Every structure is written in C-alpha cells, then in structure tokens.
Amino acid sequence: MAVTKPSRMIMAKPGAITLARLERGWSGRELTRRCGTLQNPTVWHAERGYPVTPNTARVIATALHMQSSDLFETVPRAEAERRVSEIDAERQEEAR
C-alpha cells in the first residue's frame, strides 16, 4: 500500500515563534526547556520555519501560552517545499 504525502503542511508563521519567545525574554534553550518532551533541534527547526507535526505546533504554542493559530499556518505542500528550499539555501550561504 502506497503512502500518500499530505497536500498541506504546518509551518510557523515567519518570525512568529521568535517574536513570542523574545517578548518573554527567553532564549531558544529556555523555550525548548518549557516545551518539555521536544528536543532542541525540533524547536530550532520549527522556529526557523521547517514543517512540524500538529503535536509539535500544540506543544510550542502551549509553552508560549498562545494559540497554535497565532504561531502556525497550514500551507500547500508546494509552498512548504519552496520555503524549506529557501531556508536550506540561506543556511548553506551562512556556512560559507
């Protein structure tokens, strides 16, 4: 049985997690600590705009005392893939 990819993906609204975190005076490490079971790379990826699971979105929003809809949006798969390509290109450029 073939696994179908979802047509839409959950991604952080650009800058939303960072803004909410900084408004609270929290470091990325502090946000991760408050997320409990999530690991640092998961929170880091979400904050930078990589796709997340519904549970990850819920945990991050709860840690920030916000609604998921304030921080995350559901976007078409093609848009998510385009954003991820841009993020990856920026990271590669920064590494040079």
pTM, to two decimals: 0.86
**In-domain check, residue 1:** no
Residue 71, domain extent:
8-95
Domain tally, the chain: 1
**In-domain check, residue 44:** yes
- Burial call 64-90: b when 16+ CB within 10 Å, e when fewer: beeebeebbbebeeeebeebbeeeeee
- Residue 2 is predicted with a pLDDT of 67
What residues are paired with 12 via a beta bridge?
A: 72
- For 96, which DSSP code? -
- Residue 40 is predicted with a pLDDT of 78
**In-domain check, residue 3:** no
Residue ranges for the chain with pLDDT beneath 70: 1-3
| 41, containing H or E segment | helix 40-48
- Residue 20 is predicted with a pLDDT of 98
**In-domain check, residue 56:** yes
Domain of residue 75, CATH code? 1.10.260.40
